[in-house]
Chains A and B, each alone.
Chain A
Amino acid sequence: MTDLSNLRPAAGRFLPARLERPSPLAFLAWAVTLAVLVHAFTAVGLSPMRLIEGLPNIGRILGQMVPPDLTRLPQIGLAILETFQMALVGTVIGVTLSLPLAILATRTLSPHPTVQVAARAVVSFCRTVPDLVWALLFVIAVGLGPVAGTLAIAVDCIGFCGRFFAEAMEETDPGPREALSALGARPLGIVFSAVVPQAMPSFIATALFALEKATRSSVVLGLVGAGGIGIELKVAMDLFAYDLAATIILAVFALVILVEQVGSRLRARII
């Protein structure tokens, strides 16, 4: 242990305070944050009483869910497969389209600042509009079914992957890029020889996260008629067939866990 007995008395002057006094601006920011939180809790009407009153209903529904109804298991299996296929195809399309957009959105690779701003704007727009809204738009555009859901997932994936791909490329070591630039390589050669190989582990990790996210999303998209297992769940809930709903929820749980486990293992091997 360090012996502090030899500390010069004068050195004590430099000992920092345990807590620093906040500036007036910081104090104001804390006060505003607290006020916003209090107002938000009040506005949503969250109260322990309502939760306690709802407990018997939750218990009744859970009671009706057991045992799960397995009579429609083959149909549920097919719907789960369709859900995963929507997620997979949507992710592949999204990842493929997000790579060129991400290159244009990367500060160090973009051919012009205007192009970079435009590419970032497209990526941000894809990300900020929720996937459910994209699904509603595509249902109107291409009709009910998995095509609408797949397109919604692809656009959502562009927003997610476009941003993280661009950040991964900006964080790469500039040395190889400078070396290839110094030997007269063309811009596309520099990107694909020096930048993309460095960012590849990050690309793969992001793409696997996107697939996990898409799998969860594709369940919900079915609620608005965009294909997949969601519509089965909605019908079961509307008909108060909670035992059938339990089977669907368990099937979704199994699919999401499976995709996450495979994704985690692949990430661990690649990175």
Chain B
Amino acid sequence: MALALAGDMAADMAAAGQPAAVDACVDLAVRGLTKRFGTRPVLRGVDLAVPRGQAVALIGSNGAGKSTLLRCCLRLIEPDGGEATLLGESVQGLGRGGLRRLRSRIGFVFQRHNLVGRLSALSNVLHGAQARHAGPRYWLQSLAPAAARDEAMHCLDRVGLAELAPLRADRLSGGQSQRVAIARALMQRPAMVVADEPVASLDPAAGEEVMAVFVRLIREEGATLVFTSHNLEHALAHADRVVALKDGAIVLDRPAAELTPRDLGFVYG
């Protein structure tokens, strides 16, 4: 069923002439997804398919439904209707264990870094290994196996923060904290990364720098990337494809190379 949905959507995309849709491997497929908060509809039957390896930017004004769409896909919020398939598995049909296993293959980078302030940067990165391993050895870096500590250090090094490994997370700047959160996502060895306005809490310079590092590393991993952003330059510079949401529905879905910021202005109008 799940694979059929992904296959159907890949075929739809191919029919629409989208280059990435030629690949039948669809990592994210959403069909008819709906969600209401009280009486207010936030998602109105959203259809979306993201092929493997593609970077997709979700844009839209506040309340358009971008974050809700991402959270519904991972069932951090329960959708009211529709279907979502991630990495070939139907999200709706999964039990607690199945959902945990699926989430372990997907890195989620939040707007706020969501680090544990009292723990070191290295311990926070090590937590990413809990996607693959259970037990106290992955709770703190001081208890961790040597291989896991080395891998966590390598992830920190890739985001340029190896020398800050012993520092408590609440001593880091906003940009550094978000880099540690990215390192934690890399530690997961994810097949797909989902990011909800990953640089929105940073100043423009730090945001630009972190976004560049983030997208480069995810592309090096060969992972599929879906991120939300209010920054149109980021969306156009770092994504293969831009999807715009307005009032809970997709109003634009085109390759980033064909777009300019002026084309996207109506989304915020």
Q: A183-B108, A184-B104, A186-B100 are in contact. Are A176 and B131 (CB under 8 A)?
A: no
Nearest CB on A from B77, distance (A) = 11
Q: Across the interface, do A179 and B104 meet the contact criterion of CB distance under 8 Å?
A: no
Q: Does B116 have its Cβ within 8 Å of any Cβ on chain A?
A: yes
Q: Across the interface, do B102 and A200 meet the contact criterion of CB distance under 8 Å?
A: no
Residues of A within 8 A of B117 (CB): 173, 198
Q: Across the interface, do A185 and B127 meet the contact criterion of CB distance under 8 Å?
A: yes
Q: Does B181 have its Cβ within 8 Å of any Cβ on chain A?
A: yes
Surface stretch bound by B, among A141-149, A160-168, A188-196, A234-242: A188-196
Q: Across the interface, do B108 and A179 meet the contact criterion of CB distance under 8 Å?
A: yes
Surface stretch bound by A, among B134-142, B158-166, B234-242, B249-257: B134-142
Q: Does B36 have its Cβ within 8 Å of any Cβ on chain A?
A: no
Q: Across the interface, do B110 and A178 meet the contact criterion of CB distance under 8 Å?
A: yes
| CB neighbors of B among A176-222 (8 A) | 176, 178-186, 188-189, 192-194, 197-198, 200-201
Residues of B within 8 A of A176 (CB): 114-116
Nearest CB on B from A201, distance (A) = 8
Residues of A within 8 A of B198 (CB): none
Residue of A nearest to B138 (CB): A189
With an 8 Å Cβ cutoff, the count of chain A residues facing the other chain is 21
A48–B107 Cα distance when bound, in Å, is: 73
Q: Does A59 have its Cβ within 8 Å of any Cβ on chain B?
A: no
Residues of B within 8 A of A179 (CB): 108, 110, 114-115, 127, 181, 184
| CB neighbors of A among B93-132 (8 A) | 100-108, 110, 112-119, 127-128, 130-131
Residue of B nearest to A200 (CB): B118
Residues of B within 8 A of A184 (CB): 100-105, 130-131
A198–B115 Cα distance when bound, in Å, is: 10
A181–B131 Cα distance when bound, in Å, is: 9
Q: Across the interface, do B188 and A183 meet the contact criterion of CB distance under 8 Å?
A: yes
Residues of B within 8 A of A186 (CB): 100, 130, 134
Residues of A within 8 A of B105 (CB): 184
A178 touches which of B101, B114, B134 (Cβ 8 Å)? B114
Residues of B within 8 A of A180 (CB): 127, 130
Residues of B within 8 A of A185 (CB): 100, 127, 130-131
A192 touches which of B74, B102, B139 (Cβ 8 Å)? B139
Nearest CB on A from B163, distance (A) = 23
A189–B138 Cα distance when bound, in Å, is: 8
Q: Across the interface, do A189 and B130 meet the contact criterion of CB distance under 8 Å?
A: yes
Residue of B nearest to A174 (CB): B114
With an 8 Å Cβ cutoff, the count of chain B residues facing the other chain is 34
> What 0/1 pattern do residues 26 to 55 of A give for CB contact below 8 A with B?
000000000000000000000000000000
B119 touches which of A181, A183, A197 (Cβ 8 Å)? A197
A182–B184 Cα distance when bound, in Å, is: 12
Q: Across the interface, do B128 and A189 meet the contact criterion of CB distance under 8 Å?
A: no
Interface centre among B127, B138, B140 (most CB of A within 10 A): B127
Nearest CB on B from A171, distance (A) = 14
Q: Across the interface, do A178 and B128 meet the contact criterion of CB distance under 8 Å?
A: no
Q: Across the interface, do B76 and A192 meet the contact criterion of CB distance under 8 Å?
A: no
Q: Across the interface, do A194 and B116 meet the contact criterion of CB distance under 8 Å?
A: yes
Residues of A within 8 A of B128 (CB): 183
Residues of B within 8 A of A197 (CB): 116, 118-119
Q: Does A24 have its Cβ within 8 Å of any Cβ on chain B?
A: no
A188–B188 Cα distance when bound, in Å, is: 18
Q: Across the interface, do B108 and A182 meet the contact criterion of CB distance under 8 Å?
A: yes
> What 0/1 pattern do residues 44 to 55 of B give for CB contact below 8 A with A?
000000000000
A194–B124 Cα distance when bound, in Å, is: 9
Nearest CB on B from A156, distance (A) = 29
Q: A181-B76, A184-B100, A197-B116 are in contact. Are A192 and B130 (CB under 8 A)?
A: no
Residues of A within 8 A of B107 (CB): 183
A222–B175 Cα distance when bound, in Å, is: 58
A175–B130 Cα distance when bound, in Å, is: 16
Residues of B within 8 A of A193 (CB): 116, 119, 127, 130, 138-140
> Can you list 15 A-B pairs, Cβ within 8 angstroms, ordered by A?
A178-B114, A179-B108, A179-B114, A179-B115, A180-B130, A182-B76, A183-B103, A183-B104, A183-B106, A184-B102, A185-B130, A189-B134, A192-B139, A193-B119, A197-B116
Residues of A near any B CB (own CB < 8 A): 173, 175-176, 178-186, 188-189, 192-194, 197-198, 200-201
Residues of B near any A CB (own CB < 8 A): 74, 76, 100-108, 110, 112-119, 127-128, 130-131, 134-136, 138-140, 181, 184-185, 188
User: 8 closest A-B pairs (Cβ-Cβ)?
Assistant: A184-B104, A175-B114, A179-B114, A184-B103, A185-B130, A182-B108, A184-B100, A176-B116
